[in-house]
Copies of this chain bind each other. A is one copy, B any other.
C-alpha cells in the first residue's frame, strides 16, 4: 500500500455493474417475461434501454428538475411501463411490480462476496449507490454481500455524481473525504468522487455493458488504484 493511502478507513462502492452483474440478471428475467407473453423481442436490448433511459436517464431528469426526487424503484417502474406499452404488452400490475423487482435480485460478480469480505477485514465497506435502500438491502441478502453499512442517494438526498452525495456519505461514515475511497467500474463516478477529495479505485468490469453499448475502459491516469477485481484490490491494499 502506498503511503498516500494510509489514511483510508472506509471504502464506498458503486453497486450496479461494479459489485453485481445487472445486465445478465435482469435480461434473464425479462426473457422469461417476454416468453410468457408470447412476445419476440431482444431481452438484452430491452434491459439496456431500461437501464439507460429509465435509470440513468431518469436520474438526469431528476437532477435537471424535470422529475421530483424519487427512488430507483420508481424510476425503473416508470420506464418499464413505457417499454411494455411500446411492445403492446398488457400485464397485471402485480406481475409488472414483480418484474420491476428484478433489480433487487442481481447476481454478484464471482469475486464480489469473497473480495468484499477480505477488504472488510481492514476497512469499513459501504454501498454508495443511486439505488434505494431496500433494493440494496434485498440485493445484499440475495447475493451474500457483507456490507457494514448501506448508503444510498435516498439517504444522502442527492444522486451521484452530485458532490453532496459523496460529501454526506463521508460525513455519515465519520470520515474526512480523503479517508474514504470510492470504488467503481465507472470512471465518471470516480472522477466526481475525487473532486470532493475522496480517493479512487477503478475496477473495470468488461462484461458489464454487453454488445449494444461498448464502453472504453482505459483508466484515467488520476485513479489511486486500478484493479482487475476485488481480490486484486484487496491484495494491493494488503488485506
Contact = CB atoms under 8 A, between A and B. Distances in A.
A31 interface: no
Given A133-B173, A174-B134, A148 B140 contact: yes
A4 B204 CA distance: 48
A175 B137 CA distance: 12
Contacts of A133: 149, 172-174
A146 to B, nearest CB: 9
- The count of identical subunits is 2
Given A132-B174, A154-B172, A174-B132, A124 B137 contact: yes
B124 A173 contact: no
A209 B63 CA distance: 49
A134 B180 CA distance: 13
Interface of A: 73, 124, 126, 132-135, 137, 140-141, 148-150, 154-155, 172-175
Given A126-B137, A132-B172, A133-B172, 14 more contacts: A73-B174, A124-B134, A124-B141, A132-B174, A133-B173, A134-B172, A134-B173, A134-B174, A135-B174, A137-B148, A141-B148, A149-B150, A154-B172, A155-B155
